[in-house]
């Protein structure tokens, strides 16, 4: 785990949590939370930590010879939830990291999001991770991450309709969410990203 690896590397360099916090402009409590896996640093801070200790991000993430090493891609944060009004880069609810290749990374800013619930089943399951590009524009058929009326983000398929939009769940037991163009502005309904990749989990039978 990242927290245990960070602690080992920090202690081997005789740097206290307080000192590391000062270098990174964060509190000692924040460093302690990282090391106990209660929270994780954002990608920029993770890169700074790797630079400070002269190690690779793979090393920080606990990748060893028994696990395939990085192919030189970019590590992006996987978020447990996205609340309205908080910029993606400021969100501290980072539960993991995923690696994307440089070809993908060069096309925009990406983050991972862990799916909560089964509204997109059977293709996207509870606990799966989707890779999302930050953008506010989307086309019919895109799987989008949207914030409705200031609530936490939801993942649905976007459908353009005459006079409005529909956010369509793939699970037929859930209702389609429809909004007029006026409601999109006044509620509001805000698209914050488009899903480009699914990283699912194996089901146990």
The answer to whether 168 and 157 are in contact (CB under 8 A) is: yes
The token pair that represents 191 in the structure block: 């698209």
Instruction: Give the residue among 171, 154, 166 at the shortest CA–CA distance from 120.
Output: 171
List 12, 18, 36, 156, catalytic entry = 156
How far is it, in rounded angstroms, from Cα 184 to Cα 179? 6
Using DSSP's 3-state secondary structure scheme, residue 194 falls into: strand
Told to judge if 56 belongs to the known catalytic residues of this protein, a careful annotator would answer: no
Cβ(148)–Cβ(154) below 8 Å: yes
Concatenating the DSSP letter of every residue in 109-166 gives -EEEEE--SSTTTTTS-TT-EEEEEE-S---TT-EEEEEETT---EEEEEEEETTEEE
Active site residue 156: yes
Closest-CA residue to 46 (of 13, 20, 69): 20
Say which of 119, 185, 201, 204 is annotated catalytic: 119
Name the residues annotated as catalytic: 119, 156
């Amino acid at each position: 785990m990242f927290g245990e690896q960070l602690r080992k590397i920090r202690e081997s360099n005789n740097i206290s949590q307080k000192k590391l916090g000062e270098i990174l402009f964060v509190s000692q409590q924040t460093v302690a939370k990282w090391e106990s896996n209660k929270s994780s640093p954002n990608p920029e801070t993770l890169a700074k930590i790797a630079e400070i200790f002269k190690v690779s991000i793979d090393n920080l993430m606990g990748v060893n010879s028994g696990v395939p090493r990085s192919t030189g891609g970019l590590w992006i944060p996987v978020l447990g939830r996205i609340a309205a009004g908080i910029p993606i880069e400021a969100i501290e609810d980072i539960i993991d990291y995923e690696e994307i290749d440089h070809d993908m990374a060069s096309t925009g800013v990406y983050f991972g999001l862990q799916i909560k619930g089964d509204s997109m089943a059977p293709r996207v399951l509870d606990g799966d991770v989707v890779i999302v590009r930050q953008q506010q524009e989307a086309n019919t058929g895109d799987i989008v991450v949207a914030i409705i009326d200031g609530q936490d983000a939801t993942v649905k398929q976007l459908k353009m309709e005459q006079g409005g939009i529909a956010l369509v769940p793939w699970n037929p037991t859930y209702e389609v969410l429809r909004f007029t163009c006026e409601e999109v502005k006044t509620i509001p309904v805000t698209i914050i990203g488009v899903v480009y990749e699914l990283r699912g989990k194996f089901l146990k039978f």
